[in-house]
Amino acid sequence: MEIFELEPQNVWRNFYALTQIPRPSGHTEQVANFLVDFAKKNGAEAHIDETGNVAQLLVSKTVRQPSFRHTWTWCRRR
């Protein structure tokens, strides 16, 4: 069975796109940019913080105050 035949197809299509990005140790900028672009294309607010973490703003329909939650964390050595 091919990955594109799995359900739900949109999840596996996006997973495949993520796996095609080269990301050797210490060089995760392309993945971080992919995740920010993906969030923005899907109507979410996201950014890369000063340490290279991708943060996405999650707004609950029942809570009036938004909160930041890290959806992906990429560790960088300084």
Select from 25, 48, 23, 22 the least CA-distant residue to 35: 48
Q: What is the pTM of this model?
A: 0.66
Residue percentage of the chain with pLDDT more than 90:
15
Contact predicate 32/44, CB 8 Å: no
Rounded percentage of the chain residues whose pLDDT exceeds 70:
72
- Whether the CB-CB separation of 53 and 70 falls below 8 Å is answered with yes
Cβ atoms of 72 and 54 within 8 Å: the answer is: yes
CA distance 7 to 54: 27
Higher pLDDT among residues 18 and 75, named by residue: 18
* Size of the chain in residues: 78
Q: Which residue ranges make up each domain of the chain?
A: 25-78
pLDDT digits (tens, 9 = 90+) for 41-66: 888 888 898 888 888 876 655 545 55
